[in-house]
Amino acid sequence: MNERVIEFLKKKEGYVSGDTIAQRLGISRQALWKHIQELKELGYDIVAVPHLGYRLESIPDRLFPFEIKSDLNTKFIGKKIHYYESVPSTMDVAMELGIKGAPEGTVVFAETQTKGKGRLGRIWFSPKYKGIYLSLILRPKFAPEKTPLLTLLSAVSICEAVKECLGLDAQIKWPNDILIQHKKAAGILTELNAEMDEVNFVIIGIGINVNNDKKSLISTAISLKEAKGEAVCRPALLQEILRKIEANYSALEHKGPKMIIDKWREYGITLGRRVKVYSHREHIEGEAVNIDMDGGLLIRKDSGITVKVMAGDVVHCR
Ligand code: BTN
């Protein structure tokens, strides 16, 4: 019911009497008052003036599931949302849900993580209310080797959403670092639960530095707030990312990987560069010449031999 009260108040510009709200929602004045108190506790700024009624002044910068679901307009992503103030890692929650059979499109997000996981065993710094920390469960019908495509797809979706919501140009460093002004703004961690030749589910973990202050970030990182020069509305950005992932995922399913790879090329800044990759305990150095249809990076070594890497840490040499 809290959701319906908020939806109602959002549609009204000025004050609306308690009687009108209670009548429209089919509840008593007393029940309405209780809902208003609960909403205030959640951070909704609702002003009450005698004889005039209630007015919604502002909504809190929180990723409440009902706020994210409203106007989301997706078919399956975000239909089920698990929201936490704090968890060790949204990846672990999503993994448990996936094992229990959670449907495709289930999302887990948290306002902070106490043990946020980055790639290659690193820690993902997850300060409260500053970032977006989400894990999405997908159940693609393709072979496990193709899952790196989902990482690329997610990276492209983040760039598209950042451009659309904020007008900022983001780039992708292979495979999945999102850079703005050459500094890292977001990262993606993909975990797979699979049999030999079949994917059970994939978890796409996305961490974005949204409203972090410059001084709280290391020198190689940037937040969207810093890049934009003003605070960013996290719920709107999160919604757009979910919409873009769904649209790109459907395109991948129906039209194959070419469109995703082509889009990735638009945002990617690794191709054509000399790179060093540390992959499977091996250093590979050469020119990044292309990206394969399964998302692998093709590197031409100085010997002239071209090798493909599917995962690893890339350093752009020049
Ligand atoms: C990277 O190292 O670039 C990947 C970072 C991924 C961080 C996200 S935040 C949400 C999800 N939960 C985690 O513990 N990690 C991912």
pLDDT in tens, 90-111: 999 999 999 999 999 999 999 9
In this model, does residue 195 exceed pLDDT 80? yes
Ligand 1 pocket residue status of 109, Cβ below 6 Å = no
Q: Quick one: pLDDT at residue 13?
A: 80
Which class for 177: exposed (0-12), middle (13-18), buried (19 or more C-beta within 10 A)? buried
In this model, does residue 278 exceed pLDDT 90? no
In this model, does residue 131 exceed pLDDT 90? yes
In this model, does residue 48 exceed pLDDT 90? no
In testing the pocket of ligand 1, which one of 128, 206, 208 has its CB within 8 Å of the most ligand atoms?
206
Query: Please, what is the average pLDDT of the chain?
Result: 93
pLDDT tier, 35 (very low <50, low <70, confident <90, very high otherwise)? very high
Ligand 1 pocket residue status of 113, Cβ below 6 Å = yes
DSSP per-residue string spanning 233-282: -HHHHHHHHHHHHHHHHHHHHHH-THHHHHHHHHHB--TTSEEEEEETTE
pLDDT tier, 121 (very low <50, low <70, confident <90, very high otherwise)? confident
Contact between 312 and 280 under an 8 Å Cβ cutoff? The reply is yes
Q: Quick one: pLDDT at residue 311?
A: 82
Ligand 1 pocket residue status of 245, Cβ below 6 Å = no
Over residues 281-306, the mean pLDDT reads: 91
Cα distance between residue 184 and residue 125, in whole Å: 13
For residue 228, what is the enclosing H or E element? helix 224-228
Cα distance between residue 256 and residue 52, in whole Å: 57
pLDDT tier, 160 (very low <50, low <70, confident <90, very high otherwise)? very high
Q: Quick one: pLDDT at residue 176?
A: 87
